[in-house]
Amino acid sequence: MSKLIDGYKAKVKPFGKVIVLPEGEEPRVIKAAEAIAQEGFVKVIILGDVKVIKEKCPDANLDNVTIINPKTSDKLDEYAQLLYELRKAKGLTIEQATELVKDEMYYGVMMVKTGAADGMVGGAIHATSDLLRPALQIIKTEPGVKAVSGFFLFNNEERKDLQQMLYADCGVTPAPTVEELADIAICSYGSARLFLKEDPKVAMLSFSTKGSAKHPSVQKMIDATALVLERYPDMPIDGELQFDAAIVPSVGKLKCPNSPVAGQANVFVFPDLNAGNISYKITQRLGGYEAYGPICQGIAKPVNDLSRGCTWEDIVGVVAITAMQACRDQF
């Protein structure tokens, strides 16, 4: 595990946060839960049938792991009633609610909603939509935020500059509107304040810098920047900026000498999911950075997705990041 993740573990350990892993019958999740319990930086809950879990990983030491079977839980009726109240206006019946909360993804989200857990990490064997659907139906977005997005956290401690960066949106919204881009930028600034060592400076990226090209996608970044500054006039944000103008001091000074961000950005908001997703993979594979994500932001309580190709070590890392989000107001 990297020094970065180890640092997050040390920061969250005193707070005793509880993280639920809904895919508790998956061997990688079982191994991750065992490792987390041994380290003790959070309290961990896995969802599943104890018999199945022990059959799949008979040697796992789960003495300090709480195991809950949603299908037989004594919270089933309580959670079903709450889900019914939350969704009855959408046509959900109590019978449907009861069946839904037997599903581990819905049950896990209900635990976070009710405070039985401080955060949830899933997606090792489920699609992103299977995780985000119950999260958005039940927990919903943060106040004032309409767009949930996914950011990647990058770390390379061998570099002398830009050791850490944050990219968004890399995993959720394919073609964000101006308003959604503003939400992504605002949430990314908040995430960067939590996770990055340096103060965040947000670049709204484009193939144009300060009017060097005209195009609707360029104008979208200009308008999103203006919208952010209407709401938060003191936020260090600028756009539209090309990537070199955003990170290279000499280029930033040449192209936009009065910018508070150009040449020193460490938070990058992309115009669409194509650009964000392609760029994060290039940065990870060719840039020598550790990459963590996509981490969800904009949800009222921490719920994070995993790659279905994740390792058990990846799960441990995302749990540490999720615990950091759960501790946001306590640092």
Whole-angstrom distance, CA of residue 100 vs CA of residue 247 = 47
> Beta strands 43-47 and 66-68: pairing type?
parallel
Q: Nearest-5° angle of CA 247, CA 189, CA 313? A: 90
> Beta strands 149-155 and 164-168: pairing type?
antiparallel
pLDDT in tens, 43-67: 999 999 999 999 999 999 999 999 9
The model carries a pTM of 0.90
For the ranges 108-112, 224-228, 273-277, 304-308, the lowest mean pLDDT is seen at: 304-308
Mark out the alpha helices in 159-287 (DSSP H runs). Answer: 178-195, 216-231, 243-247, 249-255, 273-286
Whole-angstrom distance, CA of residue 62 vs CA of residue 42 = 14
Please give the pLDDT value at position 1: 56
Beta bridge partners of residue 292, listed in sequence order: 153
CB distance 290 to 296 below 8 Å: no
pLDDT in tens, 223-254: 999 999 999 999 999 989 999 999 999 999 99
Please give the pLDDT value at position 109: 97
CB distance 251 to 245 below 8 Å: yes
pLDDT in tens, 293-319: 889 999 999 999 988 888 999 899 999
Whole-angstrom distance, CA of residue 269 vs CA of residue 168 = 5
Please give the pLDDT value at position 255: 93
For the ranges 110-114, 199-203, 257-261, the lowest mean pLDDT is seen at: 257-261
